[in-house]
Amino acid sequence: MIFSRTLKYLKYIFLSRHGRGHGIHSPFIFDLVSRVFRNKIDKSLVLKVEKIRKKMKSDSRSILVNDLGSKSDQLKREIRKVSNIARHSPVTAKYGRLLSNMAVEFGKPLIIELGTSLGISTLYMAASCEETNIITVEGCKETAALARQNFVEAGLNNINILEGSFDEILTEFPYHNVKPGLIFIDGNHRKEAVIKYFNLLSEMSDNKTVFIIDDINYSRGMAEAWNELKLHKKVSVSVDIFRMGILFFREGINHNNYVIRY
C-alpha cells in the first residue's frame, strides 16, 4: 500500500497546478488558492493546538478504542496508547492550518465534522472562528472523552461533540434547520460509507456548503469514492490536494475538477 501511495503522490506532483495559483484561469479557484490556501493564520492559534498535540504524544495511557470504521494501517489493536493515536490519527499542522482557513472563509453558521479522534482538527477549526458552532461526531467513547478534555484545555465553547455511530447520529441529526457552511468527513474510510455520509449530509446542505473529504488516497476504495463524489450532480467544482478533496456546490460556475499542489 505504501508503494501504491508513493506512485499516486508522484502522479499528483506531476499533474498538479502551481501552489501559488499560477496558470489557473478560474477566478474562483485562483482566489481560493491565493487567498485562502496561502493565508497565514495567527501563530498563537497554532501554538495552542500544537501544545495540546504534544501533550497527547507524551500521554502513556492506554485506552479501549471502539473503531467503527476502517482501521489505520499503524493502529490495528483495540487497546491503543494515546501517544500512538496522537502520532498517527490527527491531521498534521500543515493541514490543520488549511482547515482553519477554510473554516474562517466558509464555516458560518455551522461546521460539521465526522471523526473527532483527539480533536486536533476540531481545535484548528474552532479556534479560528469562535463565533461559529462546530458539531463533531465520534464513535469511540474514550477517544471522545480525551477530545472533550482538549476542548476544555483550549478554552473553547463553540464545540459540541456527539458520541455514536455516524449512521445513528445523522439519522437523528438535531440541526436540520441550519445549513452547514463547511463539512469535514474524516472517519470510516470505506468507499460505501463515505458516499453514504456525503449523500445524507448533502441533503442537509445548500449551494454555499463546502465539503472536505480527508484521505482520498488512503486506499483504492477511497480513491474510487472521491472519483464518484466529484461527479455528483450537486458538485460544481472539485479540488484535489492529494490528502484531501474539496467539493463545492456553487451555482453559476462551470463544472471542473482541479488538482492543486498544496
Residue 78 CB contacts under 8 Å (≥ 6 apart), including other chains = 64, 65, 66, 67
Residue 252 CB contacts under 8 Å (≥ 6 apart), including other chains = none
Tell whether the model's pLDDT for residue 47 goes beyond 70. Answer: yes
C-beta atoms surrounding 93 within 10 Å? 14
Interatomic CA distance for residues 168 and 166, integer angstroms:
6
Interatomic CA distance for residues 122 and 138, integer angstroms:
11
Closest CA relative to residue 118, chosen from 201, 50, 23: 50
Closest CA relative to residue 99, chosen from 53, 156, 54, 36: 36
| pLDDT, tens digit, 9 for 90 and up, residues 55-113 | 999 999 999 998 766 544 444 458 999 999 999 989 999 999 999 999 999 999 999 99
In the numeric block, the cell 458560518 is attached to: 108
Model confidence at 124, in pLDDT bands (50, 70, 90)? Answer: very high
Structural domains in the chain plus CATH codes: 2-50+91-259 (3.40.50.150)
